[in-house]
Structure 1
């Protein structure tokens, strides 16, 4: 409709909605027309370019969920990916504490986790998967918003929501445990070779 502010509560206008539905079935128009004006929200779908990093420069703060990687509603993945983030952060912190304890055991160290390394590993483990999941939402949005409904009547599959196994069948916890050690070793090798940070390549 109009250039609505980025809000989840900007008021909408029933007349605007009805004008967009002029060719729709009268039953649909009647339902929309019956919507109480104070209950209609003009909700703008907003796209955000991927952030180059989710971790603060000193490695003390990490973004998770929509703060790190906002999802379009057409992805049906916003909450799921936030949960995967949380699980991955938890595994990375646990593994960092274990690794530090093992490395310091002979020296009588405290075993205090290297939080900075854990958070950078979290980002590295999650970044590509999240970006790929975001793209599914963009693709689905385009498929739905640009649909040829004459074609859809003949081929309903053209607008069916994708249910991809790589997306829905992923075990974030098992994956984080499986790749944490290798991820940390790769990050350390890059630092030894001159401080290469993968984020500078994004």
Structure 2
């Protein structure tokens, strides 16, 4: 078979195995762009509408992922660790700060800082920090998940965070209009979903190679 056709067939097979975007992943961007539209139609200024829409989207995301995070902690450790409560408190404090400051650039800069810290934390997990590894990719005693696969997930998580940071900072540097930022940020989670799963299928070696 022609190498180009072989590559095309391989990529097509990979694309067919990509999971669809779950409703939960569409919730945050949907709330963001929906809130922005509602605020603007109500006569709210663009900066205020951007900040409030972002905070509402973040609150929706927290509401959606918190039960899953607690469940994973309980499955892996028997109970949710205190770090979950501290993370929620920090998250709520950050949202309150955004409302108080009420500047779009500050909200975006906080996202960049979070992404940079998250990527650094994932790197620590890849370099052997078992605490980060267990918190991010927790496994129960009955789960047979190879360590190399868990580290590979951390690398992909870090790369996704870097992509979010780069996109966010680019929007700030080029001084994009707030409406353009809303559209870009709303579409970003969908694009990153497919990027992550495509990258996972493309880069992670088959499990049987680790069982030899």
| Greater relative CO (CA pairs within 8 A, separation 6+) | 2
TM-score, length basis structure 2: 0.33
TM-score, length basis structure 1: 0.34
Higher helix share: 2
Larger radius of gyration: 1
